[in-house]
Amino acid sequence: MLANGTPTPPHPVDGENVCGAAQSSLWPMNNLSALTQPTPQSVANRLRSIRKSRGWTLHDVESKSGGSIKAVVMGSYERGTRAISLARALELANLFAIPIADLLSDPTSGRDENLGFRRFDQRRIAKLLSEKDDEALRKLNRFLIAIAQRRGDWNGEILTLRSTDIDTLTLILEMSHTRLAEWLKEENIAFG
């Protein structure tokens, strides 16, 4: 205790400066280079990848956003020559019907980029099931029905799965992302 009655400040721990920030190599936040954060260019590349996986042109983005996102602005985002605000990133994520985390993720990290978003032709799956007994097709059909029920999406015969749904599907079908992509192509039941 000090002479004026105030408590003595704690002695700095070895490796700490007076502000309490750790200087020790034992402190996990000292080496942030081990964490990989998205860069503006990786987000720009991701935007282009998502748009192209949908088969959309820059003008399609403008049209589908009701003119909110102009084609020239989207092109600037994709080139990385224009900064994207959080509000605009959320708008883009909603437009593409993806979690914002997917917008910021590296599309090549652990999954086949060609599987990011898939539209499934439920008519084709039903036709194939009537022609042959295939356990993988039955599992896929049950999964698509469950997704449609959860979303309340009974409007059409085409159902779009998000990348997280595709990850789940690989577990259900016991296939790698690469094998799933090959199988979907062989059966001609999904398109990008």
In the prediction, which pLDDT does 31 show? 45
Say which DSSP state 90 is in: H
* Least confident residue range of 7-11, 27-31, 45-49, 175-179: 27-31
Q: Of 90, 144, 156, 142, which Cα lies nearest the Cα of 118?
A: 144
Q: Of 36, 39, 56, which Cα lies nearest the Cα of 109?
A: 36
Domain boundaries, the chain: 12-107, 114-191
Residue 3 has pLDDT above 80, yes or no: no
* Least confident residue range of 53-67, 131-145, 155-169, 171-185: 155-169
**CATH code for the domain defined by 114-191:** 1.10.10.1930
- Go through the chain and tell me how many residues it has: 192
In the prediction, which pLDDT does 104 show? 81
Instruction: Using pLDDT thresholds of 50, 70 and 90, give the confidence band for residue 185.
Output: confident
As beta bridge partners, residue 16 has 22
**Average pLDDT score over the chain:** 79
The correct answer on CATH 2.40.160.20 for the domain covering 12-107 is no
* Least confident residue range of 62-76, 120-134, 156-170: 156-170
Q: Specify the long-range contacts of residues 39-45, CB closer than 8 Å, at least 24 apart.
A: 40/80, 40/83, 41/80, 42/106, 43/80, 43/84, 43/103, 43/104, 44/77, 44/78, 44/79, 44/80, 45/78, 45/80, 45/107
Q: Give the type of residue at 64.
A: K
Q: Are strands 118-121 and 158-161 parallel, antiparallel or unpaired?
A: antiparallel
Instruction: Using pLDDT thresholds of 50, 70 and 90, give the confidence band for residue 98.
Output: confident
In the sheet that holds 158-161, the strands lie side by side as: 158-161, 118-121, 190-191
Compute CA 106 distance to the chain's CA centroid, rounded to the nearest angstrom: 8
